[in-house]
RNA sequence: GGUGGGGUUCCCGAGUGGUCAAAGGGAACAGACUGUAAAUCUGUCGGCAAAGCCUUCGGAGGUUCAAAUCCUCCCCCCACCA
């Protein structure tokens, strides 16, 4: 069995580690405990958090114990690391609510039953701290001279906005978390994004100073697309793991639209497919890569939303864009559908109209705005003028063209399309 | 607290009385080429059933035929000094 660290390296999870060989030796042991902190800034995680989540899942697969630490306490302070602006400070109620949402999503990836993994909240210990004892016991181990040199504070110290005192304390709190988890759960490894390096190292040092023990740290690279954008950021905002915020269809589409150059890299990071099979798809060229993208989208959607939703999104995509079955010899371990089944378009964005509305007729530009394919009537007019609006696959010629019941197709629906990719189906309310 | 510099449309940023729905860049959207990819070229990019009208330049008032631009008060940010 490969060492955890080997798996991480070959799948692209490692930016930096502490201790080199010593860490590798530690990871050869059974039943290690490892933690990652998650910010409770929203009630849902998004694609940007997938790397940490996947890393914990890998760890659990090897029989170790992951701890997901919800930052209920640190969320009250706000991590300035790598941030250009002061974080909005959350109320305890909001943090609590968000923590619940986050656990639900983590449970898709990590088995929390029977203590196989733990979900902890640092509010449990941080909010009980007393200022003077904390300063005397913990604060004394931190050198301000060193802290202000930390990369994580640098950006803010040099910025116009500056760094305020509450944020300056953040590093101590995260270091204290590691100390607590080490003492109470025997946790010797903390992982996190590359912006967490300073916080992780300060925890390692705190444990060494107070307990004279060695603990370890690993950071993940900041994953960007080949065009340089952060993962999971789109115009409409983040790509969320919560189906209420980002539908499985949209989620699937996000992955389908992966840049050619990113397919293999993302597959290694965001699916559990064997690395050997992923290396094979690097050889694919041109349109064949689209099959690999289908697998990536399907697997990624399945992990977050389950097989049923992934299948729906798959079939919806096939019905709208025209499908192309994934060949048997591409990524054989994937459970993606290998043949085209009956088309099922339920997950394509849709809305219901009353038949009377269509009897009267609705001008084309109006309907595009109403269903959300255009942000305003003016935008819809422009869209139509530029030839980017389609009804049942036919280009709309005039923005005043009336959409009526005559436009209903054999299935009793109207398919609207904006540009090449954005679909909306109109159905009749019975 | 003092002095100085600022707040412009999604973001950056020009504009210092009419020619301003506001330069330029980025992002985004559409078209062409394609493979639901990238790159490139072209066009669009406040709202409105629209050759017109309406609302925007931190906020509230005022001057003027006319204000993003001038005046008054207020709010916020930054730098230096204390």
The pLDDT of residue A115: 85
Gap between the Cα atoms of A52 and A191, Å rounded? 8
- Check the CA dihedral A105-A107-A112-A116 and report its sign: negative
**Is residue A339 scored above 90 in pLDDT?**
no
Cβ of A283 near strand B (distance < 7 A): no
The pLDDT of residue A28: 82
Question: CA–C1' span, A400 to B45, in Å?
Answer: 21
Gap between the Cα atoms of A26 and A64, Å rounded? 12
Tens digit of pLDDT for each residue in A239-260? 889 888 889 999 999 999 898 8
Question: CA–C1' span, A352 to B65, in Å?
Answer: 53
Quick one: average pLDDT of A133-154? 84
Average pLDDT of chain A is 85
Cβ of A370 near strand B (distance < 7 A): no
Question: CA–C1' span, A368 to B19, in Å?
Answer: 36
Tens digit of pLDDT for each residue in A54-98? 999 999 998 899 999 988 888 777 776 666 555 556 677 887 888
The pLDDT of residue A326: 77
Q: Give strand letter and number of the nucleotide nearest A373 (CA to C1').
A: B29
Q: Give strand letter and number of the nucleotide nearest A288 (CA to C1').
A: B35
Gap between the Cα atoms of A156 and A332, Å rounded? 48
The pLDDT of residue A113: 87
Contact A103, A119 (CB under 8 A): yes
Question: CA–C1' span, A366 to B49, in Å?
Answer: 9
The pLDDT of residue A90: 67
- Residues of A from 320 to 349 whose C-beta is within 7 A of strand B: which are they? 320-322
The pLDDT of residue A158: 66
Which range among A41-45, A217-221, A351-355 shows the weakest confidence by mean pLDDT?
A41-45
Gap between the Cα atoms of A336 and A326, Å rounded? 8
The pLDDT of residue A229: 78
Contact A244, A259 (CB under 8 A): no
Residue A165 phi/psi, 5-degree rounding, is -65, -40
**Is residue A378 scored above 60 in pLDDT?**
yes
Cβ of A296 near strand B (distance < 7 A): no
Radius of gyration of chain A, Cα coordinates, nearest whole angstrom: 25
pLDDT band at A341 (very low <50, low <70, confident <90, very high): low
Kindly report the length of chain A.
Answer: 430
Cβ of A78 near strand B (distance < 7 A): no
Which range among A5-14, A246-255, A280-289, A400-409 shows the weakest confidence by mean pLDDT?
A280-289
The pLDDT of residue A383: 93
Gap between the Cα atoms of A301 and A294, Å rounded? 10
**Is residue A181 scored above 90 in pLDDT?**
yes
Q: Which residue is nearest to nucleotide B77 (CA to C1')?
A: A161
Please give the ipTM for the structure prediction.
Answer: 0.87
Question: CA–C1' span, A87 to B67, in Å?
Answer: 37
Quote the tokens at residue A211: 């307990």
This prediction has a pTM of 0.87
Which range among A250-264, A333-347, A398-412 shows the weakest confidence by mean pLDDT?
A333-347
Cβ of A236 near strand B (distance < 7 A): no
Quick one: average pLDDT of A343-362? 82
**Is residue A287 scored above 80 in pLDDT?**
no
Question: CA–C1' span, A84 to B74, in Å?
Answer: 29
Identify which of A373, A375, A403, A400 has the alpha carbon closest to the alpha carbon of residue A388: A373
């Amino acid at each position: 069995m490969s060492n955890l660290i080997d798996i991480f390296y070959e799948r692209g999870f490692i930016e930096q580690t502490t201790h080199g060989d010593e860490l590798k030796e530690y990871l050869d042991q059974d039943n290690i405990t490892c933690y990652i902190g998650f910010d409770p800034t929203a009630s849902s995680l998004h694609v940007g958090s997938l790397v940490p989540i996947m890393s914990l899942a890998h760890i659990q697969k090897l029989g170790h114990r992951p701890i997901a630490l919800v930052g209920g306490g640190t969320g009250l302070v706000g991590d300035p690391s790598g941030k250009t602006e002061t974080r909005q400070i959350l109320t305890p109620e909001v943090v609590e609510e968000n923590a619940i949402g986050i656990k639900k999503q983590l449970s898709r990836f990590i088995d929390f039953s029977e203590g196989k993994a733990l979900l902890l909240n640092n509010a449990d210990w941080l909010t009980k701290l007393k200022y003077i004892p904390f300063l005397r016991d913990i604060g004394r181990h931190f050198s301000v001279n060193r802290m202000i040199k930390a990369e994580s504070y640098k950006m803010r110290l040099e910025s116009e906005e500056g760094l305020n005192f509450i944020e300056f304390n953040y590093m101590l709190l995260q270091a204290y978390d590691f100390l607590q988890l080490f003492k109470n759960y025997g946790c010797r490894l903390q992982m996190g994004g590359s912006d967490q390096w300073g916080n992780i190292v300060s925890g390692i040092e705190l444990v060494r100073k107070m307990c004279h023990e060695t603990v370890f740290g690993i950071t993940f690279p900041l994953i960007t697309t080949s065009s340089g954008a952060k993962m999971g950021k789109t115009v409409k905002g983040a790509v969320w793991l919560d189906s209420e915020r980002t539908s499985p269809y949209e989620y699937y589409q996000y992955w389908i639209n992966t840049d050619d150059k990113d397919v293999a890299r993302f597959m290694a990071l965001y699916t559990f497919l064997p690395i050997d099979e992923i290396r094979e798809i690097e050889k694919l060229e041109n349109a064949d890569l689209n099959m690999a993208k289908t697998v990536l989208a399907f697997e990624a959607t399945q992990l977050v939303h389950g097989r049923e939703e992934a299948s729906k999104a798959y079939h919806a995509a096939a019905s709208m864009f025209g499908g192309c079955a994934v060949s048997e010899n591409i990524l054989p371990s994937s459970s993606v559908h290998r043949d085209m089944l009956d088309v099922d378009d339920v997950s394509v964005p849709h809305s219901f109209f009353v038949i009377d509305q269509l009897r009267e007729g609705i001008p084309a530009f109006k309907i595009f705005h109403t269903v959300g394919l255009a942000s305003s009537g003016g935008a819809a007019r422009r869209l139509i003028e530029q030839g980017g609006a389609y009804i049942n696959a036919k280009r709309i010629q005039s923005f005043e063209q009336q959409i009526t019941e005559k436009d209903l197709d054999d299935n009793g629906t109207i398919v609207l399309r904006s540009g090449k990719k954005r679909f909306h189906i109109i159905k009749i309310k019975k």
